[in-house]
Amino acid sequence: MISMSPRKNILLIATGGTIASKKSDNGLKPQISPEELIQYIPQVKDICDFHAVQLLNLDSSNMEPKHWKMMVHTIRENYEKYDGFVIAHGTDTMAYTAAALSYMIQNSPKPIVLTGSQKPICLDITDAKTNLTDSIYYVCDEKSCGVTVVFDGCVIAGTRAKKTCAHSYDAFSSVNFPIMASIREGRIIRFVFQEKENLSVHFYEAMNDSIAILKLLPGSRPALLGYLFEQYDCLLIESFGVGGIPESLRDEFYSQMRHWRQKGKIVVIATQVVNEGSNMEVYKVGKKVKRDFGLIETYDMTLESAVTKMMHLMGVYGKDYSSICKGFYQTVSYDILYPDRLME
């Protein structure tokens, strides 16, 4: 059930996306204002005072870190004025934005919800009205806090959301972590209970987006490594299985690491497998190289969280590898279960 006290004051931050799109000669394009969005769900006026701002008007494929900073700045400037925030966002990069905001706005006792839709809100058959309404119900609930994604009746931690369906209404999954809650006809059923009484919000706007992802293929060419090390501060390698460096890349990897490591370059190893996570200690292709260079490993994190967490940490700590490594393994908003493995 929804546990609401006095009437809430909620800010809708519109950024474009499918939810706000209409047909154009060149396909769907964001054209619907936040005031129009609210008109499609008149019932929310009965549960809260609703205000809106048009921060961006993008297809979310065009979302960049500079836009995340704009969202953080807007929330920071309005944090004391409102009881919660709903960000209407395109689905293509919503998981990246949700993860980024989880690191840029930490320990928020006020809820910050991202939502969107697979169909525009102006259509007769659409998931937009339900998703937006559910988001309002959730953000108005006294027990809600932190950054989450609300979509298709599910509440997902911002660090655990991943788009796994291109067309279906159940577009997002919670990876390696249970959904926080489900919402059905205004009823909130919680599965993960958060303590918000002692939370004190911290805002971080520094981000270093000099990071590249190398998705390994059978037969990947070693020459790629030198180019990527030269161009970027951090290289995240999506390896096979539980993680490692194939023999065909090993000699070049060692050579490049010996050269670039002293210049502050960072390597993070992830897995291409979505569920269950990496463990480089299992096989020879992973164990030795991890120990030789002290590589950072993503374990059960989503790719979106690993990328944005590194952007955040490099923005905060620069080239201080020890602080970055320590910060990476500290759990933020349920993003990594690795510390629990250390206790086993």
Q: Residue 2 pLDDT more than 60?
A: no
Give per-residue pLDDT as tens, 164-190.
Answer: 999 999 999 999 999 999 999 999 999
Give residue 341's pLDDT.
52
Mean per-residue pLDDT over the chain, rounded: 95
Q: Residue 23 pLDDT more than 70?
A: yes
Give residue 79's pLDDT.
98
Q: Residue 256 pLDDT more than 70?
A: yes
Q: What is the CATH number of domain 211-342?
A: 3.40.50.40
Strand partners, 29: 22
Give per-residue pLDDT as tens, 100-148.
Answer: 999 999 999 999 999 999 999 999 999 999 999 999 999 999 999 999 9
Which is it for the CA torsion 119, 124, 128, 134, positive or negative?
negative
DSSP state of 7: P
**Is 18 among the catalytic positions?**
yes
Give per-residue pLDDT as tens, 211-234.
Answer: 999 999 999 999 999 999 999 999
Give residue 167's pLDDT.
97
Give per-residue pLDDT as tens, 278-301.
Answer: 999 999 999 999 999 999 999 999
CA-closest candidate to residue 84, choices 51, 57, 55, 127: 51
Give residue 339's pLDDT.
56
Beta-carbon contacts of residue 56 (< 8 Å; ≥ 6 apart): 14, 15, 16, 67, 70
Catalytic annotation, pick one of 18, 126, 133, 159? 18
DSSP of 102-148: HHHEES-SSEEEEE--SS-TTSSS-SHHHHHHHHHHHHHSTT--EEE
Q: Residue 235 pLDDT more than 60?
A: yes
Q: How many CB atoms lie within 10 A of CB 285?
A: 20
Burial 245-263 (b: 16+ CB within 10 A, else e): bbeebeebbeebbeebeee
For the record, the structure tokens of 222 come out as 């070693």
pLDDT band at 340 (very low <50, low <70, confident <90, very high): low
Mean pLDDT for 140-158 is 97
Radius of gyration of the chain from its Cα atoms, rounded to whole angstroms? 21
All structural domains of the chain with their residue ranges:
8-203, 211-342
Torsion of CA 81, 82, 83, 89, to 10 degrees: -150
The reported pTM is 0.95
The topology under which CATH files domain 8-203 is Rossmann fold (3.40.50)
CA distance 161 to 163: 7
CA distance 20 to 242: 40
Do the domains 211-342 and 8-203 match in fold? yes
Whole-Å CA distances, 116 to 59, 249, 298, 336: 12, 41, 28, 25
Is residue 179 within 8 Å of residue 156, measured between CB atoms?
yes
Greatest extent of the chain over all pairs of C-alpha atoms, in Å: 65
| Three-state DSSP class for residue 48 | strand
Using H for helix, E for strand and C for coil, what is the string for 251-280? HHHHHHHHHHHHHCCEEEEEECCCCCCCCC
